Amino acid sequence: MVTLVGLIFVTAGALALIVKRSLFLYVLAASAPFLTTAAIKFGDNSASPFFVLAIPATLIAVTRLIMRGSWAGQSITRPLALLVAYSAIISAVGPTFFADIAVLVPREGIDSQIDDPGTLSYNLSMFAQLGYLVLAAGVVLYFIQESTVKRGVLGFAFFVGILLNTAELAADGWGLFTWPDEVFNNYGTLMYWESHYGEITRHRGIFSEPSYLAVFCISAITYFATILRKLSGWRVMFSLSMIAAALLNLAVSYAGTAIAGGAIVLAIFLGRYMYRFISGRGTLHPAILLGMLGGVAVIIGYAPLLAAIREMTTDKADSLSFLHRSASDLFSIDLWLQSFTFGVGIGANRPSSFITMMLSCVGIVGTAAFFVMLYRISKPIHRVAYWSPCIGALVAIIVCKAISDPGLANPMMWLTVAVCAHGAGQALLKDSAKAPALPANARK
């Protein structure tokens, strides 16, 4: 069955491909925030809009590859191809080689599984996750092959997500209007948690839980904060409004990811920024300096805020949920070692952290391939100012997912990877064009 959201995106995607293919990038971007909303449902199974639209993108990318042969950025996609190939192999043989080994079954939830884990076996989740990985790789290849992809494609995805999450907050949080929950909360058997912090209902927006919202908001804030330096006029006000709205959603989520992830991401970027200033490689923008000093002053000087952060941190560390999630990561590291570091198959085990999920599912080979891919994508463009917001968002997503979002099939992550991969591909193409031709005798 095609849902209302699915009908909208399938129609928009088809029209974009027919009328103007460059618009398809924006339709695909707009679908990325719908992480836990179904576009197509079949029984208890669902597919999000992003992966439905990824089907034509993958078919186009593969057709181009067959017709053209080589393309810019092959060094970027080799680790991705290795990740896909290894995931397929280990998923095919893992449940046979490691039959009946204890795993955290994805659809059963961490809290129940940590006390009574399931056993490894072939299941639909493994095939679905492998399919999503193939489609995600297809999207990355599609973006690399495109002649022009603007960084605004990623900004548009963040805009759509912030707009929808803020609207949901205005409806359910403030009671300004009725929110159509049935349109967004329809992803198969997924549980949409209404959790509380004290007597306050935690905001989760259009996602299934607050931690997913926190990952999205921190990456969005990083994107718009990084892009501010190069903007002027109304674009500055727009970016500031996006940052303010994302901060509001983040604050009312009461997610531990918001504190831990936000602190780590902030430390990374402030450290890099100060290093570039001290080493003479960058200037200290007055607005950023004032923002840094103002933020520190507010956190330290405003006692209620500091007390709230301390209380949330203490409560989270002492909570049963935190203990279960920490135990799931330790369990998964042990599972990784039991599999002799090969992993047991993609989608077979679901802990709390993205890193422990990767290690336990696709082993050291798949995990290394994924991070080598990120390195090869980042290296050509990490000093290119135009792509800095996208690289910043990618770092923020990976950091936050390492804390509390184990899913590999995250549309925002793959969209960010795809946009950055396009930038890297274009940079490599320019470098190869500038390289001097080899003399005839050197080619032999």
Per-residue model confidence as pLDDT tens digits over 106-115: 877 787 788 8
Using the predicted structure, report yes or no on whether residue 396 has a pLDDT greater than 70: yes
Span 40-76, pLDDT tens digits: 998 778 999 999 999 999 999 999 988 876 666 678 8
> pLDDT of 329-353, one tens digit each?
999 999 999 999 999 999 999 999 9
* pLDDT, tens digit (0-9, with 9 covering 90-100), for 114-147: 888 999 999 888 999 999 999 999 999 999 999 8
Q: What is the pLDDT of residue 51?
A: 97
- Look over the chain and give the mean of its residue pLDDT values, rounded to a whole number: 87
Please tell me the distance from the alpha carbon of residue 351 to that of residue 260, in angstroms, as a whole number.
18
Please compute the mean of the pLDDT values over residues 283-305 and round it to a whole number. 58
Cα angle, residue 278 at apex, residues 274 and 285 outer, rounded to 5°: 55
Q: Rounded CA gap, 260 and 314, in Å?
A: 12
CA distance 353 to 405: 6
**Lowest mean pLDDT across 3-17, 186-200, 371-385:** 186-200
Mean pLDDT value across residues 186-197:
79
- pLDDT higher than 80, residue 310: no
SS3 state of residue 2: strand
Number of H helices, E strands in the chain: 17, 6
- Report the percent of the chain where pLDDT is more than 90: 60
Q: Which of 36, 59, 39 is nearest to 49 (CA)?
A: 39
- Give pTM, 2 decimals: 0.91
Give residue for tokens 């599999």: 339
Q: Judge contact between 214 and 402, C-beta under 8 A.
A: no
What's the pLDDT at 32? 98
Query: DSSP assignment, residue 230?
Result: G
**For the residues 32-36, what does the mean pLDDT come to?**
96
Encoded tokens for 273: 């920024």
Sign of CA dihedral 287, 278, 375, 382: positive
Tens digit of each residue's pLDDT (9 = 90 or more) over 76-88: 889 999 999 999 9
What pLDDT is recorded for position 316?
A: 57
pLDDT of residue 45: 85
Encoding tokens for residue 78?
């080799």
Q: Percentage helix, strand, coil, to 5, in the chain?
A: 70, 5, 25
Q: How far apart are CA 61 and CA 166, in angstroms?
A: 35
Whether 418 has a pLDDT exceeding 60, the answer reads yes
pLDDT at 303 over 60: no
Per DSSP, the three-state class of 193 is: coil
Q: Which pLDDT tens digit goes with each residue over 360-386?
A: 999 999 999 999 999 999 999 988 889
pLDDT in tens, 314-334: 555 556 666 778 889 999 999
Distance from chain centroid for Cα 61:
22
